[in-house]
């Protein structure tokens, strides 16, 4: 079984850092979710992901498999040439980009179109923070937020929420008084010239609630950050099982919920939800390529234990540097192939069914879900 010819639809990734910001950025920090100095300068190099990645990046760039040699070779290439090599080797058909991560320091989404067809995912917390700056009253904010969700622009194919990072996935019915109070507090910060940060649970929950309502009106999927991430996250509240009240809500039955990052380490929990709720989907990003070889194989196997093939989506969650796009695509194909070959040996699938499953996970499921035509 050969998956190298299947062009990938990467259903969740982030914009590349601008070269001037990339220069100020420690290269190894792109290989860890930690940001403590000791992690970035020392411990990350002790991970299996880092060790494996250095060898593979060196092979792609034609240099010695040492960090210093890779950095030297990168310096000799233009930014565009480096991106072109990584993206060509990755073989993308389309990439859905959440451009709300480090928005002041990244290349515009349209810029990436020269390497692969890109679409936008609208990060709703970033949108809300921007609109708090611009809205003098609650009423103005509420109207602006609704209008932005209803008319997000033709390139937007889905919404993305990082509520798991901010106040957790145990989302409650927002109390109108508490929501307004949270808005007033953040608005006063904005008036004082501070950048408002959406970390007040009533308002965060309200933002997700309104997003789901807009998603229901327009048939747009909503991507939820679930599972592991950087230490800004309280992992206890990133378990997708907390989403049950929203998944059961009659108004949201037609909204596709996409659980990102294999919800790792809550992978089986996510797989269960996707198996029993028709509108829940799971995704492999970040788990591939950040885990060890056996860790990546585990998440694919864990989903295939119980989750329908039609509910499994592929992404790289690549961010900051182009090498992560290459590594995500390379390991996505390789791990999927290994696991699917084993399903044939086990007698779960025929060869033809396994080949179809690979196409579905790498491409077709996302094309269908986001109506990519």
Residues lying near Zn ion in the complex (CB under 5 A): 317
Name the minimum Å distance from CB 67 to Zn ion: 25
Six-digit token string for 159: 């919404």
Q: How far apart are CA 270 and CA 86, in angstroms?
A: 31
- Closest approach, Cβ 49 to Zn ion, in A, equals 16
Q: Is there a contact between 371 and 155 (Cβ–Cβ < 8 Å)? A: no
Nearer to Zn ion, 125 or 317 (CB): 317
Minimum distance, C-beta of residue 103 to Zn ion, in the bound complex (Å): 13
Is the Cβ of residue 317 or residue 323 nearer to Zn ion in the bound state?
Answer: 317
Between vectors from CA 245 to CA 182 and to CA 282, what angle results, nearest 5°?
100
Contact 99, 13 (CB under 8 A): no
Taking the complex as a whole, the smallest distance from the CB of residue 35 to Zn ion amounts, in Å, to 15
Closest by alpha carbon to 27, among 69, 78, 60, 64? Answer: 69
SS3 of residue 119 by DSSP: strand
**Which candidate, 228, 63, 197, 207, places its Cα nearest to that of 148?**
207
Q: Which residues pair with 58 in a beta bridge?
A: none
Within 102-174, strands assigned E span 117-123, 156-161
Tell me the C-alpha to C-alpha distance, in Å, between residue 107 and each of 82, 214, 299, 317, 324: 14, 28, 31, 16, 16
Taking the least distance from each CB to Zn ion, the nearer of 99 and 317 is 317
* Residue nearer to Zn ion on the CB measure, 14 or 330: 14
Closest contact distance (angstroms) between CB of 10 and Zn ion is 11
When the beta carbons of 317 and 355 are compared against Zn ion, the nearer one is 317
**Rounded to whole angstroms, what are the CA distances from 62 to 68, 77, 239, 351?**
13, 12, 41, 35
Shorter beta-carbon distance to Zn ion: residue 202 or 289 = 289
What residue number has its CB nearest to Zn ion?
A: 317
Closer to Zn ion by CB, 205 or 317: give it: 317
- Provide the minimum distance between the beta carbon of 353 and Zn ion in the complex, in angstroms, as a whole number: 31
What is the residue whose two structure tokens read 């508490």?
Answer: 178
Smallest distance, Zn ion to C-beta of residue 223, A: 8
Asked if residues 21 and 327 have their Cβ atoms less than 8 Å apart, the reply is no
């Amino acid at each position: 079984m050969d998956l190298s010819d299947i062009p990938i639809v990467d259903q969740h990734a982030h914009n590349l850092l601008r070269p001037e910001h990339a220069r100020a950025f420690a290269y190894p920090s792109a290989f860890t979710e930690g940001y403590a100095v000791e992690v970035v300068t020392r411990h990350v190099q002790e991970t299996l992901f880092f060790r494996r990645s250095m060898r593979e990046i060196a092979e792609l760039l034609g240099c010695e498999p040492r960090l210093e040699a890779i950095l030297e070779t990168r310096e000799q290439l233009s930014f565009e040439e480096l991106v072109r090599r990584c993206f060509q080797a990755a073989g993308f058909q389309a990439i859905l980009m959440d451009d709300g991560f480090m928005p002041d320091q990244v290349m515009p989404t349209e810029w990436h179109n020269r390497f692969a067809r890109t679409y936008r995912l609208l990060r709703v917390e970033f949108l809300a923070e921007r609109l708090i700056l611009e809205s003098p009253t609650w009423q103005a904010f509420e109207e602006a937020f609704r209008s932005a969700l209803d008319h997000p622009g033709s390139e937007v194919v889905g919404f993305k929420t990082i509520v798991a990072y901010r106040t957790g996935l145990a989302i409650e019915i927002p109390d109108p008084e508490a929501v307004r109070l949270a808005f007033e507090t953040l608005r006063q910060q904005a008036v004082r010239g501070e950048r408002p940060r959406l970390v007040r649970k009533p308002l965060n929950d309200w933002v997700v609630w309104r997003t789901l309502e807009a998603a229901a009106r327009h048939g747009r999927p909503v991507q939820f950050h679930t599972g592991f991430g950087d230490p800004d996250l309280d992992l206890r509240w990133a378990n997708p099982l907390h989403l049950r009240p929203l998944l059961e809500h009659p108004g949201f039955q037609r909204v596709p919920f996409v659980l990102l990052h294999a919800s790792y380490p809550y992978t089986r929990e996510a797989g269960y939800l996707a198996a029993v709720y028709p509108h829940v989907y799971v995704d492999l990003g970040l788990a591939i390529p950040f885990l060890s070889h056996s860790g990546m194989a585990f998440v694919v196997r864990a989903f295939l234990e119980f989750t329908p093939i039609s509910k499994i989506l592929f992404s790289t969650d690549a961010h900051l540097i182009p090498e992560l796009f290459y590594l995500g695509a390379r390991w996505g194909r390789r791990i999927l192939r290994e696991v699917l070959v084993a399903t044939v040996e086990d007698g779960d699938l025929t060869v033809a069914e396994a080949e179809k499953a690979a196409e579905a996970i790498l491409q077709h499921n996302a094309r269908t879900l986001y109506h990519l035509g």
